[in-house]
Amino acid sequence: MDIKEIKNKLSTGLVENLINEPSAHYIHVLLLRELQSSAIFTTSGQDADIATVGIVADGELVDYSPVMMFKRKQTGSDRRKGKELQRNLIDMKDTMNVNEMTQDSPESILYGSAAGDEAISVTSRVMYDTAYSIRDSSVVVEEKFQNAPGDEFVKGPTTAIREPDFIIPGTLFPCVITLRDVTFDELVFVLGITKMNKRYGAATSRIGRMENHIIGIYYGLEEGPANLILSQEVSRRMAVENGGLTKENLNKVLYTPVLDVEKVKRFVKQTFDDDIQTLNIKSLDDADVEKLLEYITDETLKQALENQKTKASEFLKKVNEELKKKKAKK
């Protein structure tokens, strides 16, 4: 199947041209985010972001505390990568400064922007949700301490400084990126960002290396299962595979020192596929997903951005003119 046929297959979840009113076209990109170096996910500046949730096993509620990768940790990093690609591929200047974004850039028209000179704000059509680690925070969070810096050979005792909590390499976060009312070129752009972006969390110039495994692409009229459901169901399925959904087997999964990435990828996809059976969502065949991902190169990304650059500029101009007409009538 060629790219044109794949685009036609995805048509239920895509729009041909940019629209200003939601019209229930959804594309879902199913991911497993794998940390490949230590990372910092914190809102307090010190403690890792964790939740307390529960899974039922043996008729009992087994509570545990997964690490949370807040949605803004994902969107902020992806947006920076998107603007970086714009500058490189189509020489379009843009910024992450909230009130200074280039509103008609392909990235800003897709990911959203605050009101600019024209007093128009753009709502994001890329939806993220907080992702949850499969394992408990007690086995994936490290506290580190360092002595105060100094270069003397002989010195008195120094105070140990606690660094922010670090999430260890090998931590896995199943998650979904949902695109609403996007064009095919915008889908190519998001897939390009997802494939190429390698840094998430704080201090990304030194840590936060992440591999985004794209394991499924879906299309339809509604949103799919939440990230928390994906993480918890993977834990359940791994416990079942290890002898049954008992409290003991579930805890072995939640507190294991390491998880098999390939096995987790398989369980994440099975979970999503099973959960959408009663929803208006269909999956792209694995072979077509692979072909679509292979299609995304610097050249195809550049072409997609060039196409979207024209559409974005025309769309924002049209919306602005319509708003001016409405104001003139009042």
Q: Does 184 have pLDDT greater than 90?
A: yes
Inter-residue contact 281 to 26 (CB < 8 Å): yes
Q: Output the CA–CA distances (angstroms, integers) from residue 296 to 10, 189, 195, 243, 288, in the order listed.
A: 16, 9, 9, 41, 13
The predicted pLDDT at position 44 comes to 82
Residue 280 is encoded by which pair of tokens? 């208006």
The 10s digit of each residue's pLDDT in 83-142 is 999 999 999 999 998 888 999 999 999 999 876 656 678 899 999 999 999 999 999 999
Q: How confident is the model at residue 70 (pLDDT cuts 50, 70, 90)?
A: very high
Q: Does 160 have pLDDT greater than 70?
A: no
E strands, the chain, in order? 26-35, 53-57, 60-64, 66-69, 126-127, 131-136, 141-142, 145-147, 160-162, 166-167, 172-180, 210-220, 281-283
Tokens 């072409």 -> residue: 303
Torsion angles phi and psi, residue 277, rounded to 5: -60, -35
Query: Please, what sign has the CA dihedral across residues 262, 263, 267, 268?
Result: negative
More confident: 85 or 21: 85
Q: For the residues 19-33, what does the mean pLDDT come to?
A: 95
Residues 6+ apart with CB under 8 A from 266: none
Inter-residue contact 261 to 215 (CB < 8 Å): no
CA 147, chain centre distance (Å): 36
Angle at 204 between CA 169 and CA 261, to 5 degrees: 25
Q: For the residues 157-186, what does the mean pLDDT come to?
A: 87
The 10s digit of each residue's pLDDT in 240-252 is 999 999 999 999 9
Residue 14 is encoded by which pair of tokens? 């895509």
The 10s digit of each residue's pLDDT in 261-299 is 999 999 999 999 999 999 999 999 999 999 999 999 999
The predicted pLDDT at position 5 comes to 96
Long-range CB pairs of 117-120, under 8 A, 24+ apart, other chains included: 118/316, 118/320, 120/316, 120/319, 120/320, 120/323
The predicted pLDDT at position 198 comes to 94
Q: How confident is the model at residue 159 (pLDDT cuts 50, 70, 90)?
A: very low
The predicted pLDDT at position 145 comes to 58
Q: For the residues 32-40, what does the mean pLDDT come to?
A: 95
Tokens 């998430």 -> residue: 200
The predicted pLDDT at position 67 comes to 97
Angle at 255 between CA 144 and CA 199, to 5 degrees: 50
Percent of the chain having pLDDT more than 70? 91
Burial tier of 246 (Cβ tally within 10 Å: 0-12, 13-18, 19+): middle
Per the document, the length of the chain is 330
CA 62, chain centre distance (Å): 28
Residue 60 is encoded by which pair of tokens? 């009992």
Residue 182 CB-half CA count within 13 A:
32
What global pTM score does this model have? 0.92
Name which of 33-47, 139-153, 303-317 the model is least confident about.
139-153
Residue 4 CB-half CA count within 13 A:
0
